[in-house]
Structure 1
Amino acid sequence: MTTAEKLPSWLDENFLATALQGGPDKHPNVSILSFKLMPSPGLEGFSSEIFRLQVNYRMGDSTQEQSKSLFIKVPDASGLVHSAMGSIVAEKEFLCYRDLLPIMMKKVNCDFAPTSFYSIVDKVIIMENLKPDYQCADKNELLDFAHCKLVVATLAKFHASTVALYGEHAQLIRFVGQECFFPEGGALREWVELGTRILGEE
């Protein structure tokens, strides 16, 4: 997917400008200078279509050009996950990125998730691509103690933030955290259980 013709019709300069400025009535205004669809190998999902864009823009009256790499995640109603479980997966993920993760990170002053941006299209997730600022470690080498400690500390902050926020945002946390892949009586759970029994009997 490398041509602009394959972008949704609504994914235009206005959509991106509104996202980067935080909403239609937010300031300073953002002016989009250019945006380019980038290849996104290995990102095809079972529940969404994912676009990776490089966006060049200016803020307000500034003459300084800025650039961001963004992921745009669009729910796919024809995907396997939607067919098996309906729209709840997309709803949970959208609320998690738009509402829950920002207040969790603010509560513990720790950015353990990508920055997400305002979307004028319902259930479409816009998030910053973190890859340019990160280096993937060799998967065949174990992390040293210092890095393991950072991982555990960050996970602790992640879980602690939901505990600290539960009193104020119990309904949101319960909805995002509810089981949807393998609930009791769910179609996918029954399919997996049936397949497992058949394999066990052979």
Structure 2
Amino acid sequence: MTNCAKDSRHRAPDWMDKSFFQTALRSGYQDTSLQVISVNSESGATVGDNFCSNIYRVTVEVQRENAQYEKRSLIVKCQPRGGIIEELVFGADYFNTEIQMYTRILPEMQHILSKVSFGDERMFCTKYIYHGTEPLQYIILEDLSFLEYTPVEGLQGLDYSHCVLVLKSLARFHAASIALLSNKPKLVESFYGNPYQAGRSGLEAVIKSSLRSFALEIKTWPGYETYSERLLKLLGNCFDILVKLNNFKEGGFNVLTHGDLWINNMMFKYHEGAVVDVKFIDLQFSHVTSPAIDLHYFMHTSLSDEVHEYYFYDLLNTYHTTLIETLNLLDCRDKRITFQQLEKELDDHGFYAVYSGIHVHPLALRDSDNLDKDFRDADGRAKSVDKLHTSPHFVKTVKRLLVKFGERGWL
């Protein structure tokens, strides 16, 4: 969703016509007088940017009752049919998870925060417009790029100011979810499932292949052979470990996570050169579990090397402070967690940092064009993983991470 590739294979299908968008926009904007004049579309993501949806960016020209003409830029996400994407997520209900997040959960979380003076500027995601099931499942959202939000290229990672903004927003997201879990538990019942278990048939082989490739690569790096041995020993049950780490823990500190929070799934707004807001995108892995899942995933995939090395605990403190402040405002003081308890959550979920840093992080450093070509078949996927694990920037970063993982007992 963050990159737009003008590939004719990903043009919007014929059923996304003027009549389709007129029905959707009349509902989304609650304006029965709205008329759609024209529709233009292009792909809204490269293959490597979104594995669980086919995405289209659509510009729609509309006319309102007052005769004014307006242009609306929309993102249409469709459940994939056939090919690699369906293969990877077959049997999992990821797409419906995102629809439920936009239609039921996010409005409630926004309402919760509005009671403590957080207004529209605290909206976590873009505006939902419409969804349907025919001829396949789809959801229509406002295009954040049209609202002057932009992605950040993953090669160098996020600087300190971007990271502070993300972690403050994430803390409020988690705090609002805690209030929701407490006040309306039935509303969140469907989010107690585990996306890794649900997608095991498509995900397990891909993740194991990636970790094995990396373990064999670092076996050739002088001084890093021990890390290779440790990782190879874990390969047999590494996916079971990931499933266990993502489970809801009875009596534990649980939040509704984003579930896929990395640099490719957020967009930023700027004013006079300074970053002022962030929006999260792609909510298909949201589930109830430890906040360590979001924290490890973000902080071991998306930070610049300098920020990760020198400001990791400063950022963790920013998250914790904002979490506690927001919980206090929401009158959820009995749901608070100490900083030491948060650190223990991170240690207890340490292998998730290893997985994030080894399997997910290199995707942020990739050459998108080459990855698109490679990811179209199984052999190409294996080759692309090998390339990612030997890219110079990743090698430099992961050597430092491996030492950290070893020192913390996470690997």
Tell me the TM-score normalised to structure 1 length: 0.76
Change in CA separation of 1:127 and 1:78 when aligned onto 2, cut-off 3 Å: same
1:173 paired with 2:185, answer no
Q: 1:128 aligns with which of 142, 166, 169?
A: 142
Distance in 2 of aligned mates of 1:92 and 1:16: 23
Q: 1:150 aligns with which of 147, 161, 165?
A: 165
Asked if the contact 1:182/1:188 (under 8 Å) is kept, the reply is: no
Asked if the contact 1:58/1:66 (under 8 Å) is kept, the reply is: yes
| Deviation readout 1:141-189 (Å, 9 max, x if unpaired) | 75345x5443222112111121122245424424235212246x94356
> SS where residue 15 of structure 1 aligns?
helix
Residue in 2 that maps onto 1:191: 205
Asked if the contact 1:48/1:73 (under 8 Å) is kept, the reply is: yes
Query: Over alpha carbons, which structure has the higher Rg?
Result: 2
Asked if the contact 1:19/1:117 (under 8 Å) is kept, the reply is: yes
Bigger strand fraction = 1
Q: 1:164 aligns with which of 148, 156, 179?
A: 179
Asked if the contact 2:45/2:56 (under 8 Å) is kept, the reply is: no
Distance in 2 of aligned mates of 1:112 and 1:92: 16
Change in CA separation of 1:5 and 1:151 when aligned onto 2, cut-off 3 Å: closer
Instruction: Please give the residue correspondences for 1:1-202 in structure 2 after superposition, counting only pairs within 5 Å.
Output: 6-22=11-27, 26-42=30-46, 45-59=50-64, 61-80=65-84, 82-83=86-87, 84-108=89-113, 109=119, 110-121=122-133, 123-132=137-146, 133-136=148-151, 140=156, 143-145=159-161, 147-176=162-191, 178-182=193-197, 186-188=200-202, 191=205, 195=209, 200=232
Change in CA separation of 1:119 and 1:142 when aligned onto 2, cut-off 3 Å: closer
> SS where residue 71 of structure 1 aligns?
strand
| Aligned AA (2:142) | E
For the aligned residue pairs, the C-alpha RMSD in angstroms reads 3.5
Shift of 1:113: 0.3
Shift of 1:32: 0.6
Shift of 1:5: 10
> SS where residue 27 of structure 1 aligns?
coil
Asked if the contact 1:47/1:79 (under 8 Å) is kept, the reply is: no
> SS where residue 11 of structure 1 aligns?
coil
Distance in 1 of aligned mates of 2:23 and 2:207: 46
| Aligned AA (1:103) | E
> SS where residue 196 of structure 2 aligns?
coil
Change in CA separation of 1:138 and 1:40 when aligned onto 2, cut-off 3 Å: closer
Change in CA separation of 1:177 and 1:67 when aligned onto 2, cut-off 3 Å: farther
Shift of 1:46: 2.9
Distance in 1 of aligned mates of 2:21 and 2:66: 18
Shift of 1:119: 2.4
Change in CA separation of 1:79 and 1:98 when aligned onto 2, cut-off 3 Å: farther
After superposing the two structures, state which structure 1 stretch, 95-104 or 82-91, moved more: 82-91
Distance in 2 of aligned mates of 1:176 and 1:187: 20
Distance in 2 of aligned mates of 1:114 and 1:168: 25
Bigger helix fraction = 2
Distance in 1 of aligned mates of 2:69 and 2:168: 36
Tell me the TM-score normalised to structure 2 length: 0.41
| Aligned AA (2:172) | K
Shift of 1:70: 0.8
Change in CA separation of 1:191 and 1:5 when aligned onto 2, cut-off 3 Å: closer
Asked if the contact 2:41/2:57 (under 8 Å) is kept, the reply is: yes
* Matched length: 197
Distance in 1 of aligned mates of 2:204 and 2:75: 34
Shift of 1:16: 1.1
